[in-house]
Amino acid sequence: MNDNWLKSNTFHYSKFKDLNLLVAAKEQKNLSISLCLPTLNEERTIAKEILIMKSELMVRYPILDEIVVVDSGSEDDTIEIAQAYGADVYLADDIFPQLEKYKGKGENLWKALYVTKGDIIVYLDADIKNIHHRFVYALIGPLLLSDKIKFSKAFYDRPIATGKNKIRPTGGGRVTELVTRPLFSLFFPELTQIIQPLSGEYAGYRSIFEMIPFPIGYGIETSMILDICKKWGLDVIAQVDLDRRIHRNQDTKSLGKMSFAIIKTFLNRIEKQGLIDLNKNIFNEMIQYNLVKNEYQPDIFRIQAIERPPIIEIPEYREKFNIPDQILELKGPSPIDRHPIDRQI
Amino acid sequence: MSKYLDSIPSFVETIKSMKETIITNIVLIGQTPAPTFKEKRRSKVFMERLAESQVDECTTDGYRNPLGIIHGASEKKPPIFVVAHLDTPFQIDMVNYRVGVNTIKGPGILDNSLGVGILLSMPEILRKLELRFESDIVLAGVIQSVGKGNLRGIRHLIKTWPTPIRGAVCVEGVELGRLNYYTEGMTRCEIKCDITASNGMGDYHKPNPILILNDVINQILKLRLPQRPRTRIVFGQIRGGISYGKTPQDATLGFEIRSDSDRMVKSVFNDIKDITDGIGHEHDVALKITTIANANAARLNFNHPLVKSAGAVMKTLGLKPVSDASESELSIFLSNKIPAVTLGITRGKNQFHLNSSMKINPMFKGIAQVVGVLMAIDSGICDE
């Protein structure tokens, strides 16, 4: 295994602390940048994320051009709060209303590509308790300061909030260590250099995101890495150490469902790549058991492996971003360095 | 006086337009834990935020109080201080604030993340308001202030500051409308009863530290305290024991003696010490009184120009000044003959609890009043 990537493409957030440098690079490259926050009932944390990014990366340093919230139908005050603090808020169901509607983080991220305007999109989970603007500028840094890197991904210490005002210093990333890393080790050892492949914070050029399919649910992070690597190679990816991220702890059953979706996405990808041959269709139901009144009762959770196609295949998208239909006929590696203005040719 | 007073109401909207920056400062500083004596991380964030706002100087004093200085136009005028204590009484390793449409909730938000957040926002607020002062404005986040900190940070800062100080504003989270200009003499004490060293017989024969402290409390309550100078004893804390049915090894009583007269505080303390020694002797247990913190009684007169001007600023903003004795940094300024007041920024509840919360909207008036009082001091009202 070639482990050069880990040395050359891994950064610490402090490397990008000089925000004036990022502003200058952004201006020189004539780029716009969008921050997208996918939400579902995030009233406890959404305001902080919007406020801090707006204050530090819009008002103080003009790095972000817009903050967009794409919501899956929150029943708490997420939408009201996000609007009050000046984010552009969209309901996922209202974007491409003619298409069948699905719920899931991947669905929100995919639809965000249509409503955002930036050449670079930063995706940030909306449940970060210790939010700081480094979560965004450190992901943008490699994209602006390197001509080679087109996608950057976060990793961090992951203390878990275990109770009221208490944290446990380690223990995060269980699905990564028990599911994703073993699968990567078996089929794509080079990808094990990505410390936290499931981190929910990443940024990339639109020209990358628009060319890859998006699973609607938990498989999005895994598929994104596999697809980007396959199309453009590992060298276009960077990973950035964001220090510490405190997030909600999830119970084992929830992590089981997440693992199910990730394994399914992974199997789907490696089958397409001809690495395995499944002789029968795999099932769509995650079955867990609850002990109710001394009886085990199945708790069945249906997880379909639905994927949105590369958004560039959607006519409304091409129309909005002035992309000629002929782009779909291009063969070979996708033109990731294509600037939006070139699309009008 | 009216020259600057007229402009103050218009500040509110301008300050409101900086809502994101102000709340960001409050959240970023408040979510960095800073129990008394462990303020290092918060001090670092304080300095980083001030540097980010391009304050003219950013430094620490010899005691590691972090400071920011906004240079004034005159080199001859002494500086004006704006202070907020950096430390919190909570020994917790994670602070998570929840921001709503008009509230921020979380431990220490009122005591004193809000006050410190305002200090951090001050360079940008003054820039946005296009205000330039004659005096330097010193923004001081003082450490080791609350509880056993005993105001060590501010004591050191004032003691070692090389020049005279023109005046000071102490910033506290709540309540908007407070105007403190006098402090009580105060001694904060702990009485600890410890039986671990007593004879090796079973629990049945051992004296009970809780009952001994009960004796102490009863004896203290028999003390005659004068109405003038006003003097009182506040019992604030009692702890001891591990189980319903076991005699505890120790028990502790925490209380404050407060009076308008330092001499009376000392006299009452001596009385309580006699009570403690006596009961300890009679029960043959280790019963010890310890002084945790103290502050001197000091005051400005009601007709002091700073008090009058601060009251006028508040009335201009539609606030009714409410005065009471205050502890904290104010007492150190006043006992060093430096004119100072303490102001509250907003309205809120559960100030000293983990679930404290503040209202966002009243805060903008609270900040405008601080700016107004700084303008008053800078106009020379404290110079005589």
Give the pLDDT confidence of A194-218 residue by residue, as tens digits: 999 999 899 999 999 999 999 998 8
| Position A171 confidence tier, pLDDT thresholds 50, 70, 90 | very low
**Closest-CA residue to B321 (of B356, B361, B360, B372):** B372
| Position A246 confidence tier, pLDDT thresholds 50, 70, 90 | confident
At B240, give phi and psi (nearest 5°).
Answer: 160, 155
CATH numeric code, A4-335? 3.90.550.10
* Residues B20, A59: C-beta atoms closer than 8 Å: yes
Q: B167: which DSSP letter? A: E
Alpha-carbon span A261 to A218, nearest angstrom: 6
Pick B207 or A331 by higher pLDDT: B207
Furthest CA-CA distance within chain A: 69
pLDDT of A281: 83
E strand intervals along B271-368 = 286-295, 298-299, 340-346, 348-349, 357-359
- Looking at the partner chain, which of A80, A86, A130 has a beta carbon nearest the beta carbon of B31? A130
pLDDT of A334: 54
Task: Answer yes or no: is pLDDT of A339 > 50.
Answer: no
pLDDT of A340: 43
pLDDT of A75: 96
* Residues A81, B100: C-beta atoms closer than 8 Å: yes
* Residues A56, B24: C-beta atoms closer than 8 Å: yes
Q: How far is CA B278 from CA B255, B269, B275, B282, B286, in A?
A: 19, 14, 5, 6, 11
Min Cα–Cα distance to chain A from B71, Å: 21
pLDDT of B352: 86
CATH numeric code, B2-183+298-378? 3.40.630.10
Strand pairing of B185-194 and B286-295?
A: antiparallel
Segment A45-57 shows an average pLDDT of 97
Alpha-carbon span B35 to B144, nearest angstrom: 9
**Closest-CA residue to B8 (of B379, B383, B286):** B379
Let me know: does B84 contact B172? Beta carbons within 8 Å. yes
Segment A48-75 shows an average pLDDT of 97
Can you give B40-106 as a three-state secondary structure string? HHHHHHHHHHHHHCCCCEEEECCCCCEEEEECCCCCCCCCEEEEEECCECCCCCCCCCEECCCEEEC
Give the pLDDT confidence of B287-333 residue by residue, as tens digits: 999 999 999 999 999 999 999 999 999 999 999 999 988 878 999 99
Segment A97-103 shows an average pLDDT of 93
pLDDT of A335: 52
| Position A342 confidence tier, pLDDT thresholds 50, 70, 90 | very low
Mean pLDDT of chain A: 89
What are the residue ranges of helices labelled H in chain A? 4-8, 19-29, 46-54, 78-84, 105-115, 134-145, 174-175, 181-187, 206-209, 220-232, 252-272, 315-320
B-chain CB neighbours of A55 within 8 Å are 20-21, 23-24
pLDDT of B204: 63
- Looking at the partner chain, which of B93, B99, B101 has a beta carbon nearest the beta carbon of A166? B93
Show me where the domains of chain B are located: 2-183+298-378, 185-295
* Residues A161, B94: C-beta atoms closer than 8 Å: yes
- Sites in chain B below the pLDDT cut of 70: 1-2, 197-205
Min Cα–Cα distance to chain A from B29, Å: 11
Alpha-carbon span B242 to B237, nearest angstrom: 16
* Residues A85, B100: C-beta atoms closer than 8 Å: no
pLDDT of A162: 56
| Position A266 confidence tier, pLDDT thresholds 50, 70, 90 | very high
Name the class of domain B185-295: alpha beta
Task: Answer yes or no: is pLDDT of A168 > 60.
Answer: no
**A interface test, pick of B17, B23, B24 with most A CB neighbours within 10 Å:** B24
Min Cα–Cα distance to chain A from B356, Å: 14
pLDDT of A174: 85
* Residues B96, A81: C-beta atoms closer than 8 Å: no
Out of A28-37, A171-180, A218-227, B272-281, pick the least confident: A171-180
**B interface test, pick of A165, A168, A248 with most B CB neighbours within 10 Å:** A165
Task: Answer yes or no: is pLDDT of A314 > 90.
Answer: yes
pLDDT of A343: 42
* Residues B94, A51: C-beta atoms closer than 8 Å: no
CA of residue B174 relative to chain centroid, distance: 11
- Looking at the partner chain, which of A55, A129, A159 has a beta carbon nearest the beta carbon of B20? A55
Round to the nearest angstrom and report the end-to-end CA distance of chain B: 15
B-chain CB neighbours of A48 within 8 Å are 27, 97, 99
* Residues A246, B99: C-beta atoms closer than 8 Å: no
User: For residue A57, with 0-12 CB atoms within 10 Å meaning exposed, 13-18 middle and 19 or more buried, which class applies?
Assistant: buried
In chain B, the residue whose alpha carbon lies closest to the alpha carbon of A159 is B94
Q: How far is CA A129 from CA A228, A252, B87, in A?
A: 29, 21, 21
Pick A281 or B211 by higher pLDDT: B211
pLDDT of A170: 43
